[in-house]
Structure 1
Amino acid sequence: MPMRVALCGITVRFGALTAVEDVSLAIEPGEVHAVVGENGAGKTTLMNVLFGLVAPQAGAIRLDGQDRRWTSPQDAIRHGLGMVHQHFMLQESMSVLENIVLCAEPAGRFGLVDFSAARSRLRRIAEQHGISLALDRPVARLSVGERQVVEVLKMLYRQAEVLILDEPTSVLTPQEKDRLFATLRSFRTAGKAIVLITHKLDEVMELADRVSVMRAGRLVWSGRLSQTSKEEIARGIVGGALPPARQRAVRTPGEPVLAVRDLEVAGRSGAVGPLSLRVHAGEIVGIAGVAGNGQGELIQAITGLAPALSGEIALCGRPVTHLDVERRRRLGMSYIPEDRQRMGLALGATVSENANAGRDDRRAFTRGPFLDRAAMARFASGLIERFRIRVGGPSALAATMSGGNKQKLVVGRELARNTPLVIAENPTWGVDIGAIDFIHGELMRMRDEGHAVLLVSTELDEVMALSDRILVMYAGAIAGEVAGTEADRETIGRMMTSRAHQALPEVA
C-alpha cells in the first residue's frame, strides 16, 4: 500500500560535527526523489536516520501522519522501508536466494526454512518488475550490477514501499545503469516511493520527479524537477558559481616511467592479455572501457596485487614483475584503489593513522621505536585542509566519514607521496562536483610537474577530459589507442564494445 513519509526537523551530531541540522523533507509515493549535495553534506546520514541506522538528537519520522521511532533497521523494514547502501552488504559464500531470505526466512515443516515458498514468491516479484537473476548462483560469482539487483530484490521480498538507494550507479556499466533505471520506473509506476542519493546530475535530470539539495548539513532547496535546472542544482550543491572547464597545457612527455610488455594475468574467465603499454613522465594515459574487460586485472598486476602469468613490468627503468607491493611502492608508485573500503583505508583506524599509512619518510613521524602521534596528526590536518575533507579531525575514525570524504583522504594520501608514477583507479567514484574538479586539478598538477599518471575510469567524460592518450580495453585486450586531442565519445564508445578494426574508420 502506498505510503507517505515525512522527516521533520531532523538534527544529527557526531561529537563536535553537526552532520544534519533541522532538516524537514517529504517523500511521496509514486515519485523518484533525488537527494543531492557535496560529500559530507548529510545526505546519507539523513537517510540512515529514516532507515533506523542513526538515532537523531532532534526531530521526528512520520509515516502516513503517525510519529515513528525506530529501535533498529529491522524495525524500519517491518514498517515498509528498504535501503541499498553504497557498499553492498551481502554474504559472498551464500547463494542469491539465501542472501535474500537471510533474517526473513519463511518457516516450513519442523521449523526448517521453506526455500520453495521463498523461490516462488521471488519469481513473482521478479516477473512483475522485469528482473532476471539466477537464484542459485553464489554471490561471489556475480558482477557488481547483479549484486545490486540482489540488494533490490531483498527490499522487494521484505515488501518495502519506500526504497532508498545510495549512489546506486557509481560502479555500474552504462547497460547496467539503464536496466536499473527501467526497474526503478517500474517501482514508481507501482506506487512505491524511491529516494535516490546521487552525485550524478545527468541521472537526476533523467529519472527524478523531485529534487532536494543539501549543503553543510542543511536543506537549501527542495521542489519538483520541473521547477529547476541542472545548472541551478549544481550551483546549489557548491554554493556558488561552477568551476570553469579545465584546459590541458601542451607539453612534451619525458622518458617512460611505466613500461608493460606482453603482460598476461589470470582473469575471471581466462587470461587477460597479452597487454603492452607505456606511460611517460609528464603525461596522463587513460584507460577506458566497460567494467569487467580486464582493467582491474591489469592494475592488480602492475601494482603487485596479482601475479603475472607472463610478460614484463618495469618502473623507472627497473624490472618489478616479481617484486611485492611494498617494494614497488618504494621504487616510486602510488595507487588510488577503486575500493576505498577494503583496500584504500583501515576503517577501524583513525584518519591520522590512515593518512600516514605507507609513507616513505618514516623518520618524520617516529621518535626512535615509537610513533610521533603529534607529527602524524599535523600531517593529517594538512591533508584535511588541503583536500577539504569533512571530518571531526585527525583522531576521528575513518569509518565515520562519508564515502566521498573517504575517497578524498585516499587521494590526498597517495598524491602527497609525490612518486614518479600515480595509478588512479576510478579516483572520483562517489564524490561531488566540487571534489571532482579538485581531484582532476591535482592529477593535472602531477602531470604538469613531470609525474606519470595512469588513469583507469569507467567515466568516459573523465578519461577524455584528463588524458593525453587514451587506451580502450575490450575483452581483456587493448582494442586501440586515441590521442586525447582527437578523442570523441562515438569512436571510443564503439571501441569499448568491439575490436579496434571494427571501431576505427578504414584507411583509404
Structure 2
Amino acid sequence: MHAELHDIRVRFGPLLAVNGVSIDISAGKVLAVVGENGAGKSTLMNVLFGLITPEAGRIVVDGSDRHWSSPQHAIRAGLGMVHQHFMLQEQMTVLENIVLCGEPVHFLGIVDFKAARRKLAEGFRQHGIVIDLDAKVGSLSVGQKQVVEILKMLYRDASLLILDEPTAVLTPLEKDRLFGILRSFAASGKAVVIITHKLDEVMEIADHVAVMRGGRLVSSLPLKETSKERIAREIVGGELPPPLKPAARQPGEVVLGVTDLRIAGHGMDIGPVSFEVRAGEIVGIAGVSGNGQSELIQALTGLRRTSSGAISIAGKRVESLDVHERRQVGLSYIPEDRQRVGLALGATVAENANAGRNDPRSFARGWFLDRAAMARYARGLIERYRIKVHGPGALASTMSGGNKQKLVVGRELSRGTPLVIAENPTWGVDIGAIELIHAELMRMRDSGHAVLLISTELEEVLRLSDRILVMYSGSLSNPIPAAEADRNRLGTLMTSRSAEARSAA
C-alpha cells in the first residue's frame, strides 16, 4: 500500500495542531515520524487512520482520494493502528481480543475460532510470532500485549501499520522482538509507520525519517541522507545542551528507609528487601519490567498492602498510612501510568496541577476553590515545563501523552517534598523534555531532596544515579556506586540470581 497526505491542516479551537503537512508512506518501508511532544505527530497519523477529520487537505491511498467517515472505514481499506495506550479486554483471551468485532461465524451464528486460528497460523509462520492464543490478556507482559495489538491488524489484513510510541515501556529484548516483526512486515510489502522519540531506535529500524515541529513538517529524508545529530537539532530547533552529570556530594540523613519489606504479588512474592535513600542523592532501581518493581513502588506509595516489614519517610513509620497521609508526611510520586494514576483526564489542567498540594490556603477561600489562583499556579507549571496546551482551563485529556507526563512531573516536583519517587519519568517524552526532566530531578537532588528513580531505561539509571540497585525476580541487589556500574554488570544482574544480586538486610 502507498499512502499520501497532502497539505493536511488540523485545528483544535484556536490551536493549529497540524499546519499544511504533506508526506508519503511507501510500501515495503518503515517511516519514523519524530518531533517534540505536541508537534502534531499523533494528530497527523490520527487523520490518516480516520480518528480526526482535517480542516483541509487530502488523503490518497494507492492513487485514489479517500475520505474516511470513521476508523472502521480506514480499517476496511487496509489500515491499522496501535495506540500508545493499548485497547484490549484484559479478561478475554488473546484470540478473543484479536477477533473481537471481526469474528468469523458459522452459518448458525457461532464464532468459528478454528478458522481464526488457521488464519493466524500463517502469519505466525511468516513473521516469526510466538504467543499463546488461549492466555488471558491480563496475564501478559507489556511486550506481549503489544504483539496482540499487532495481531489484531494482521488478522484484519492491514497493509499499512501505524504504531504510536511502540517501545515506550518495552524491555530491550521485547523491543528487539518487535523490530524483528516490523522488519518482516516491511519485507512482505507492508508499509510501517512508527511515531517515536527514541533516536537510537530511529537509526536502527527506519528507512525514512519525517521530523515535525510546531505542527509543521521540518524535513522528510531517507535515513541514509540524514544523521542522529541533524534529527535532534531539527526536533528542538537548535543545539541540545550538553548532558548533565551529577556533581559529587556527600548525602545527608536517611529520608526513605525500607527494612525487611515483603509484598504479596501476582504469582511472585516480593522481598524481603531492605534499602535506604538519603537526602541529596538519587538511588536508581534498574530491572526488566515485571520483576517486582511495580509492586514495590505501589507498596512504598500506599497503593498496595505489605505483608511485613517497615517503611519510613522522613523518620516516620508509614506502612500503615494511606496514600494521602504518606503524601502529607513528605512523599511525591511520578507514576508510570499517567492516564490512570497520574491525572484525572476529565478535569482541567489547573485542577490537575493543584491536586495534592500541601498549601490549601493558596488555592482555596474557605470552602470554595480560588479558580484564579489555581490558574496562575498552573500557568507557572506550563511555562516552566514547556507544556503545550491551550491554557489552564483545557481538559487534561486534550494533551499529548508527553505533555501529560510533563504536567505530572511538574506538579510533583513543585511540591518540594523530602522524597520523590519517579517511576519511568521520561516515558513517551521527546529528547528536549527528557533533558528538562533529568535536569529537574538533579536539581531536586542537589537541593537536598531524596530521589528514588525506577526506570526500565538503563541509560537513564546510569546517567542520573549516585547508587544503583537491580531488581530481579522480586529481590534487590546490593547497592552499586555509580562509578562502579556499567551496562554489562547491570545487565548480568537484571537476568540472573548471582551472589551479588542478593539484597543485604
Give the TM bin, normalised by the shorter chain: over 0.9
- 1:268: Cα distance to partner? 2.1
Which among 230, 238, 241 is matched to residue 240 of structure 1?
238
- Say whether 1:327 aligns with 2:325: yes
SS in 2 for 1:110: coil
Match of 1:63 in 2: 61
Q: Which structure 1 residue ranges, 4+ long, deviate > 6 Å from structure 2?
A: none
* Matched ranges for 1:175-194 at <5 A: 175-194=173-192
* Matched ranges for 1:68-147 at <5 A: 68-147=66-145
SS in 2 for 1:270: coil
Match of 2:298 in 1: 300
Whether the 8 Å contact between 1:334 and 1:422 is mirrored in structure 2 is: yes
Q: Partners of 1:311 and 1:503 in 2: how far apart?
A: 20
- Say whether 1:424 aligns with 2:422: yes
Q: Which amino acid aligns with 2:422?
A: A
Q: Partners of 2:11 and 2:485 in 1: how far apart?
A: 47
User: What TM-score do you get using the length of structure 2 for normalisation?
Assistant: 0.98
- 1:118: Cα distance to partner? 1.2
Match of 1:404 in 2: 402
Bigger shift: residues 186-195 or 106-115: 106-115
- 1:479: Cα distance to partner? 2.4
Bigger shift: residues 488-497 or 200-209: 488-497
Q: Partners of 1:76 and 1:230 in 2: how far apart?
A: 33
Bigger shift: residues 441-450 or 125-134: 125-134
Q: Which runs of 5+ in 1 are unaligned?
A: none
Q: Partners of 1:320 and 1:472 in 2: how far apart?
A: 24
Q: Partners of 1:66 and 1:389 in 2: how far apart?
A: 38
Q: Partners of 1:494 and 1:236 in 2: how far apart?
A: 37
CA RMSD of aligned residues (A): 1.1
Match of 2:373 in 1: 375
Report % sequence identity: 68
Bigger shift: residues 482-491 or 323-332: 482-491
User: What TM-score do you get using the length of structure 1 for normalisation?
Assistant: 0.98
Q: Partners of 1:126 and 1:15 in 2: how far apart?
A: 45
SS in 2 for 1:323: coil
Q: Deviations over 1:131-159 (max 9, x none)?
A: 11111111111111110000000000011
Q: Partners of 2:111 and 2:492 in 1: how far apart?
A: 48
SS in 2 for 1:169: coil
- 1:503: Cα distance to partner? 7.7
* Residues 478 and 133 (structure 1), Cα distance of their counterparts in 2 relative to 1, 3 Å cut: same
SS in 2 for 1:252: coil
- Say whether 1:454 aligns with 2:452: yes
SS in 2 for 1:308: coil
Q: Partners of 1:254 and 1:186 in 2: how far apart?
A: 53
Bigger shift: residues 239-248 or 381-390: 239-248
- Say whether 1:274 aligns with 2:272: yes
Which among 466, 469, 472 is matched to residue 467 of structure 2?
469
Q: Which amino acid aligns with 1:113?
A: V
- Say whether 1:414 aligns with 2:412: yes
Bigger shift: residues 232-241 or 114-123: 114-123
Number of residue-to-residue matches in the alignment = 502
Match of 1:438 in 2: 436
Match of 2:220 in 1: 222
Match of 2:201 in 1: 203
Match of 1:337 in 2: 335
- 1:502: Cα distance to partner? 6.5
SS in 1 for 2:179: helix
SS in 2 for 1:186: helix
Q: Partners of 1:127 and 1:500 in 2: how far apart?
A: 36
Q: Which runs of 5+ in 2 are unaligned?
A: none
Q: Partners of 2:308 and 2:13 in 1: how far apart?
A: 52
Q: Deviations over 1:264-310 (max 9, x none)?
A: 10122221110001000000000011111111111110001000011
Match of 2:284 in 1: 286
Match of 1:161 in 2: 159
Match of 2:39 in 1: 41
Whether the 8 Å contact between 2:93 and 2:133 is mirrored in structure 1 is: yes
Whether the 8 Å contact between 1:479 and 1:498 is mirrored in structure 2 is: no
SS in 1 for 2:218: strand
Whether the 8 Å contact between 2:92 and 2:136 is mirrored in structure 1 is: yes
